[in-house]
Amino acid sequence: MGKKHNSNRKNGTVQNSKIQNTKVQNVKVQDAKVQDANLHNDNVKSIVITVLAVLLLLVNIFTLVSVSSLKREVAGLHKASEQESLISTENTSGVNGEDKTEPSKQNASESVSSATQGSNADTSTQQTGEAVKKPGEGKTVYLTFDDGPSNNTRIVLDILDKYNVKATFFVVAALDDSYEDIYKEIVDRGHTIAIHSYCHDYNVVYSDLDSFAADVQSMRDYIYNLTGYTSNIYRFPGGSSSTLGNMDRSDCIRYLNAQGIVYFDWNVSSGDASFSFVPPSQIEANIFNDLGTYDESVVLMHDSSSKTSTMVALESVIKRMLDEGYTLKALDVNVKPVQQILSTNY
């Protein structure tokens, strides 16, 4: 009984130890599992890290590529804007095709060479300076004075003489004999005398064709009698497109065409007749606002005793025109006429 007990106890112990062994084994298995799990986790981690590293590398490469292409684009824009500014300088200053292309090519090659060879900066600037043209180079200005003669006509003539410049006077009949010498003086001093109107009264000049023709012919004869010169150049009082008076201008134009008289309007106005007084600085600004637009500018000014600010502006205007490279001339019948209504349509 006691042995049995003992053996039972022993058996119990053996069983216990077996159980413990099993537990140990279980623990080992669990450990192994934990190790496996750890290993698995480590693998996942390393894969994630690798993937992240690859992604980071790709992002870096992409950024590098983007930055370098951006740099190339910016450099391209700079180059383009440099070339554009060079071209636009040429466009504003150049006149005929040949003059435009030559300096433009020269400047483009200069900009490339100055970018690659910094040491040539001085020479390149000097060459670019030489290539830049004045705004009026190759362009002609026809100064025209309407409504004279007046107390100011001789002042105008003296200023024109001072700068050796010729102009055109669209004259009216004198109010009294004291002005009569001035017509011939205009011609003798080398300027063009042209027909404006005998009476300059819109209601008379534009009342009907007979009246219009009589006004033109009277003034043509008047000029001839005082100067010995037959003028074939005319300016409509108020301009060819004005609607002053009763007449349709098409009849007037047909009449002038039949007489071989060329009429000139203007494409640049000094604005000196806009108000009773226009400041000289405003007159100059009005002229230079439009002057660069045309190869041939016909500038409207007035020769009238009340237009003192025109006389004050004149010298400064002429000096500036000459400084900017414009050529100043008097009109003649061979100059392409500036017309608000084209005579060729009638």
**Which residue number, 103 or 237, has a Cβ lying nearer to Zn ion?**
237
DSSP state of 340: S
Contact between 272 and Zn ion by CB under 5 A: the answer reads: no
- Build a one-symbol-per-residue string for 189-228: x at contacts with Zn ion by CB under 5 A, - elsewhere: ----------------------------------------
In the complex, minimum distance from the CB of residue 109 to Zn ion, in angstroms, rounded to a whole number: 53
Number of residues interacting with Zn ion: please give it, by CB under 5 A: 3
**Which residue number, 86 or 256, has a Cβ lying nearer to Zn ion?**
256
In the complex, minimum distance from the CB of residue 212 to Zn ion, in angstroms, rounded to a whole number: 15
Q: Are 288 and 320 in contact (CB under 8 A)?
A: yes
User: For Zn ion, which stretch binds (CB under 5 A), given 122-130, 144-152, 182-190, 317-325?
Assistant: 144-152
Q: Are 123 and 79 in contact (CB under 8 A)?
A: no
- Distance of alpha carbon 135 from alpha carbon 282, whole angstroms: 20
Contacting Zn ion (CB under 5 A), which of 90, 110, 147, 272? 147
Q: Are 193 and 217 in contact (CB under 8 A)?
A: no
Contact between 265 and Zn ion by CB under 5 A: the answer reads: no
Alpha helices, H only, 260-300: 280-291
Residue nearest to Zn ion (CB): 146
* Cα–Cα nearest to 99, from 336, 325, 334, 329: 325
**Which residue number, 136 or 237, has a Cβ lying nearer to Zn ion?**
237
User: For Zn ion, which stretch binds (CB under 5 A), given 81-89, 92-100, 232-240, 321-329?
Assistant: 232-240
Contact between 146 and Zn ion by CB under 5 A: the answer reads: yes
**Which residue number, 133 or 302, has a Cβ lying nearer to Zn ion?**
302
φ, ψ at 142 (rounded to 5°): -110, 105
Peptide bond into 149 cis (omega under 30): yes
User: For Zn ion, which stretch binds (CB under 5 A), given 11-19, 21-29, 128-136, 141-149?
Assistant: 141-149
In the complex, minimum distance from the CB of residue 131 to Zn ion, in angstroms, rounded to a whole number: 43
Q: What is the DSSP string of 289-311?
A: HHHTT-SEEEEEEE--TT-HHHH
- Distance of alpha carbon 243 from alpha carbon 211, whole angstroms: 16
Which one-letter amino acid corresponds to residue 319?
K
Q: What does the longest C-alpha to C-alpha distance in the chain come to?
A: 175
In the complex, minimum distance from the CB of residue 200 to Zn ion, in angstroms, rounded to a whole number: 6
In the complex, minimum distance from the CB of residue 152 to Zn ion, in angstroms, rounded to a whole number: 15
Q: Are 196 and 233 in contact (CB under 8 A)?
A: no
User: For Zn ion, which stretch binds (CB under 5 A), given 43-51, 118-126, 229-237, 264-272?
Assistant: 229-237
In the complex, minimum distance from the CB of residue 75 to Zn ion, in angstroms, rounded to a whole number: 59
Q: Is 223 exposed, middle or buried (0-12, 13-18, 19+ CB in 10 A)?
A: buried
| Contacting residues toward Zn ion, per CB under 5 A | 146-147, 237
